[in-house]
Structure 1
Amino acid sequence: MQKSLFTLGIVALMLLSFNYSQAKTNGNSSANPAETVSSNDHATVKLTKALFLEKVWDYENSPKEWKFKGDKPALIDFYADWCGPCRTAAPILEEIAGEFKEKVVIYKVDTMVETELKAIFGVQGIPAFLYIPMQGKPTMTSGIARSKEDTKKMFITNIEKLLLANN
């Protein structure tokens, strides 16, 4: 009798834990800030390979020569959902996207999904940021500052220096 109650308890516990894990994987957990991309005009734009080829650089047809296809300078954020500094940078970049919406486009590339884009630019550490001016070659930077305020200042300084200085 005790053995069957013990077995029944173990089975019930297993079913409950399985049900809980299924609920989490079916999207019932809260959204990650690094994934959040607003639908209004103040938002960053999530890049897929197809969108990258269309809006940034068609490296399949022009692999040896950088030819920027955009109509505004751009900043690309290479991130991953599990990355703490990436999650810190995400809302700051959303804010900056609103402030510079007429002058700069800010894109996001999920390095866990878009591994080919990550490889094309040799991204090994994240967060990494590719600043793409209208003329000339892009510039890659990585990391964020110690505070949110300093990180925002860093982005604004880099945008002004690397993207807007010659426009």
Structure 2
Amino acid sequence: MKKVLLLLGIAMAISCNSNGEGNKSQEATENVAKKVLPTASVKHITKAEYLQLVYNYEKNPKTFVYEGKIPAIVDFYADWCGPCKRVAPILDKLAAKYAGKINIYKVDVDAEKDLAGAHGIQSIPTMILFPMGGQPQVVQGALPEDQLEAAIQQVLLAPQKTN
């Protein structure tokens, strides 16, 4: 109980500064936290960005070469697709949770027909998981958050086996 009161007293002393310095200190702390803590969101990409950030299948048509610096998920979706709409907030949440560890990209199949066709996308949502080592893995359908998170852990963040 004494520890709680001591902590409350310290908090009040810092926040109740009559000249406003306590608020400035709090603002400075919040600004530092914003800069230090990674934040991420799902990024919508075009074919040109995909070729640069993920896989340039035009330059390497026979051999898969991942272009990314960290593992990624690419969600092939359409605005009119109900299951795609259900997955979107889950991907937003996972992008924030795994900021700095994975990238999550979205590709609109209606706007990027060539890209979707090059990967044989016939149903949506289709997600391709790109680990740092090994081959990409395809996941189809509106998976629940726990299954997507398990895929992230098993495919993208687990140590890759070398042959």
TM over 0.5: yes
Q: How does 1:1-167 map to 2 (within 5 A)?
A: 41-145=39-143, 151-166=144-159
After TM superposition, what 4+ stretches of structure 1 lie above 4 angstroms from structure 2?
none
TM normalised by structure 1 equals 0.71
- Rounded to whole Å, the distance in 2 between the matches of 1:124 and 1:72 is 27
**Preserved CA contact (<8 Å) 1:133 1:162:** yes
Deviations 1:35-74 (A, max 9, x none): xxxxx94211111011011111111111111100100000
CA RMSD of aligned residues (A): 1.3
State the distance in 2 between where 1:85 and 1:101 align.
Answer: 24
Runs of 5+ in structure 2 lacking a partner? Answer: 1-37
Q: How far has the Cα of 1:166 moved from its partner?
A: 1.4
Once residues 147 and 137 of structure 2 are traced to their aligned partners in structure 1, the CA distance between those partners, rounded to angstroms, is 14
- The alignment partner of 2:107 has SS state of strand
SS at match of 1:166: coil
Structure 1 residue runs of 5 or longer lacking an equivalent are 1-39, 146-150
| TM-score normalized with structure 2 length | 0.73
Name the SS for the 1:70 alignment partner: coil
Percent of pairs identical after alignment?
Answer: 39
Contact 1:76 1:109 (8 Å CA) reproduced: yes
Deviation at 1:119, TM superposition (A): 0.8
Letter paired with 1:110: D
